[in-house]
Structure 1
Amino acid sequence: MYNRSLLAQYYGGKTKLSLAARIVRDRKKWSLCRRNGKDRYSPTYTKWHLTHPENAAPRVSSTSKYLPGGTNIRLCNEKKASNADKPLYSGNPTGSSIKIADNIETYVAEPQGNVHKDTAILYLADVYSIWPNSKLMADQYAANGYYTIIPDLFNGDPVPQERPDGFDIMSWLTKGSDGNNPHTFQYVDPIVQKSIEFLQSKGYKKIGAVGYCFGAKYVARFLAEGKGIDVGFVAHPSFVEEDELRGMKGPLSIAAAETDEIFPAEKRHLSEKILTEQKHTYQINLYSGVTHGFAVRCDLSVPIQKFAKEQAFFQAVAWFDKWLL
């Protein structure tokens, strides 16, 4: 079941943390840094609090602000904070955008050269849906020979990359931003199903699915018998139910973060137990020094994060090369 406290901590969450660092003496300088990221700054431990959203520049104020659980604070010098404007790879996406089925916005990355015929990958994204990082990752799967698509699982309503204060993730999940666009499985399942049918209509006989965070749940759901997915890979999975794991029929590979309040050690161990009991073909790799989201969004200037991100991708490709081809 959804854990509201964990949802709050990860999705824009409000996790209080005492910050131990230098006091910024010049408030104007801090404000300038917030605007353009060019001046050196540090959080303080008392009067000031830091909000450090993933994939956005840090913000500070004298009112009570919070730090998302598990985020590492790093001092910055001439650049924005660690997760701000940090794509998975450099360069521009090379795929194209189309609409499939019932007007589902979809990113398509087509392989060139060494193409794995009859096989495709369905990329089930995190809550940011189709954005530069997911596009670049899809391009990389295509570069490894797999026709890859990313359907918009959220009907045009992803979580904002710069979340406003007071953003309510539970309300977004259950009702959507406008109150009439839910993102629960009853609404996401049909999008996944139509995406699978689209791939099948193009002649792809075997389909692998990758799921990051939010998308991982639907990899498990559609690895069930007759649901259309043959092989799965997930990274830092969120809210996969026990019965969904038990119901799978295809091989599953998991990339887990050492620090992950949504997929902590206890849940990881329970997943291992279930997968073993069900005699599934599975793999679980644990990456140290990283937190939830590392396989999609991390600070590439930190060697251990860059290594983990790259290895998680290689893990996925190797898994598909073994079990999908």
Structure 2
Amino acid sequence: MTQMGGIDAYVSKPADYPHAPSKLLLFLTGATGLHSDNNQIQADKFAKEGFLVVMPDMFNDDPLPGTATYSEEKDPSYIEQIKMTLVDATKSFAIDMWLARQTPEKVLPIIQKVIEAAKDEFADAVANGGGIYSVGYCFGGRMTLLLAGEKPDTVMWGQAVKDEEAGTVKKGPYIKAGAIAHATAVSRDDFTGTKSPLAFVCVENDQLFDEEVREHGEKYLKENNVECEFKTYSGVPHGFGVYGEYEDTKIKVAQAEAFDQMLAWLKLH
């Protein structure tokens, strides 16, 4: 663990770096954040493939609070059903409150500070890759999408789009290419201005990245000649792309396929 631009970050390097050239990969996590073992393991997997991985603490030590998990019974009693309903409602409220705190206006400036610091500290990797690459999981998927676009410069430093004055200089994209797995809270407007090639790992019937938004995004990117790839995985849960000890063989296979899809896209670009 280290700090970059005053922000806590997990950095994972290829075993032969700096003796062998590498490319810089910005790893943007889901709500579990920087200190999740699974996120760090996932970052290490990309490092083993030759990427110098920088995973910033986007949430300023405020990941989604953990909630108790309950085992699902085949025939739960009425009381148990009520308990599970209350647990789900509590989780939903906690998620909504957390998302309200983690706005792009708050998170993007944190990412921007890390990007600027990485350009200095790992200038060789940035130069070797011809820019910065990014992978984003869940919440981080939306951030990767935003970094792939042309945005008003002040947005990247915390000013909301609605507050922008006419004629503001736009900058970006901030990444050369990106790969996004089961993005969360993406809106139609988030695709506007996208320039960098993007690959999407999607989950069938995913309420957190619904079909209408996904179809709009794919149509927008193709109509604007932005290179893209969308692949939908069925029978898997949201979040399956991050390392986890799943017992279901189908999920394990899909997880490996999703990693290969993202890795191939990054290496292609």
SS at match of 2:132: strand
| Runs (5+) with no aligned partner, structure 2 | 70-86, 151-171
TM-score w.r.t. length of structure 2: 0.76
Distance 2:244 2:132 in 1: 28
The aligned counterpart of 1:110 is 13
CA 1:232–1:313: 2 relative to 1, 3 Å: same
Greater RCO (Cα-Cα under 8 Å, separation 6 or more): 2
Whether contact under 8 Å (1:259, 1:290) holds in the other structure is no
Distance 1:163 1:172 in 2: 17
The residue type equivalent to 2:140 in the other structure is G
Larger Rg: 1
Q: Trace 1:84-233 onto structure 2 (pairs within 5 A).
A: 97-102=1-6, 104-113=7-16, 117=21, 119-130=23-34, 131-162=36-67, 166-167=90-91, 168-174=94-100, 182-201=101-120, 202-203=122-123, 204-205=126-127, 206-225=131-150, 226-233=172-179
CA 1:242–1:120: 2 relative to 1, 3 Å: same
Q: After superposition, give the CA deviation of every residue in 1:81-115 in whole Å (9 maximum; x if it has no partner).
A: xxxxxxxxxxxxxxxx001212x111110012387
Cα deviation for residue 274 of structure 1 reads 1.3
Moved more, 125-134 or 163-172: 163-172
The residue type equivalent to 1:121 in the other structure is L
Q: After superposition, give the CA deviation of every residue in 1:28-53 in whole Å (9 maximum; x if it has no partner).
A: xxxxxxxxxxxxxxxxxxxxxxxxxx
Distance 2:97 2:232 in 1: 32
CA 1:318–1:295: 2 relative to 1, 3 Å: same
Q: Percent identity?
A: 33
Whether contact under 8 Å (2:173, 2:196) holds in the other structure is no
Cα deviation for residue 291 of structure 1 reads 2.1
Distance 2:226 2:109 in 1: 26
The aligned counterpart of 2:169 is none
The aligned counterpart of 1:303 is 249
Whether contact under 8 Å (1:108, 1:148) holds in the other structure is yes
TM-score w.r.t. length of structure 1: 0.63
Cα deviation for residue 209 of structure 1 reads 0.6
The aligned counterpart of 2:191 is 245
Report the aligned-residue RMSD: 1.9
Whether contact under 8 Å (1:207, 1:231) holds in the other structure is yes
